[in-house]
A and B are shown apart, each in its own frame.
Chain A
């Protein structure tokens, strides 16, 4: 992984960073690169309440906020920003306001790399709107001063339309941190992890490949 000046990560939901990006974040931090994680919402509309329910609609955001903070602590993120938007409403916010929010952070932090979702290929409307706002903000900058844009894509058509990911980070050296981050988002990930044993994460090739490789597409401006 190239050494960066500052990495800015912009996602709408606590846990968006966990599966696809946390190993990359951990690696940058281990390299001494400051990382800012701007998380737009608290995932207020998450649906996992448990059976029997362990929480309710009104308390879920409080749980997810704690999980997000715990995940950031595990990664060593010094600058975690909760941006105060509401889950599933990001796409309905004013586009210019969204662009400005990102532009201000870019001006303040001067990141050499931004990680976000690839608009059009990231499934959830909040992901799409978040990625689009970042792209608009970067697009306004003169081409020579733009930070690199590494985007996460996972829609069913993403490889067909974008081609294979051009950045594949092997994060095996920090896989244990990544697994602890995934588990920190317990309200969201416990069910998924229920069938995966500690042993699997070290010996099952399919699970190891899934954990150890983080894929990004460099955004292509038209």
Chain B
């Protein structure tokens, strides 16, 4: 993955608009967060292969970035995006990594289901 280049990510988001796409969205602070620090409130959420169609998608912010997709009846949203990649299957992979290189958030858009 490489650091976000807003224009490239925005183009990739635009190319995938108005068609059926599969979404992977996750946010996490790790299963060990509360074990390592008992005062830490651990939380996360995850959805894989949600089939949606967005009419509008945007990347905003000064970095880390936010990405929002406006879908027919609602929204998909991720905050803390630092890196992106268009992989060999032409999927748009976006992720936010903390300073130690640990994944904190991921938003991925694919025309075919994720494995």
Residue positions of A touching B, CB distance < 8 A: 45, 47-53, 56-59, 88, 123-126, 155-156, 191
> B8 within 8 Å of A by Cβ?
no
Residue positions of B touching A, CB distance < 8 A: 1, 24, 26, 28, 30-32, 35, 38, 46, 83, 85, 87, 91, 93, 95, 97, 99-104, 106, 108, 114-115
Given contacts A47-B30, A191-B100, contact A58 B35 (CB under 8 A): no
A222 to B46, CA, bound (A): 36
- The one of B1, B26, B35, B104 in contact with A56, judged by C-beta atoms closer than 8 angstroms, is B1
A47 to B26, CA, bound (A): 11
B83 to chain A, nearest CB (A): 6
B32 to chain A, nearest CB (A): 7
A28 to B42, CA, bound (A): 38
Residues of A within 8 A of B83 (CB): 53
- The one of A48, A58, A156 in contact with B108, judged by C-beta atoms closer than 8 angstroms, is A58
Residues of B within 8 A of A155 (CB): 35
Binding site of A, secondary structure by majority: helix, strand, loop or mixed? loop
- Check A51–B91 contact: CB distance below 8 A: no
Given contacts A51-B101, A124-B31, contact A58 B91 (CB under 8 A): yes
- Check A57–B100 contact: CB distance below 8 A: no
Task: Considering the complex, give the chain B residue whose CB is closest to the CB of A46.
Answer: B103
Given contacts A48-B102, A124-B32, A156-B38, contact A53 B91 (CB under 8 A): no
Residues of B within 8 A of A48 (CB): 101-103
A90 to B26, CA, bound (A): 17
- Check A45–B91 contact: CB distance below 8 A: no
- Check A51–B95 contact: CB distance below 8 A: no
Residues of B within 8 A of A57 (CB): 24, 26, 93, 95, 103, 106, 108
- Check A58–B1 contact: CB distance below 8 A: no
- The one of A52, A56, A124, A191 in contact with B87, judged by C-beta atoms closer than 8 angstroms, is A56
B93 to chain A, nearest CB (A): 5
A47 to B35, CA, bound (A): 16
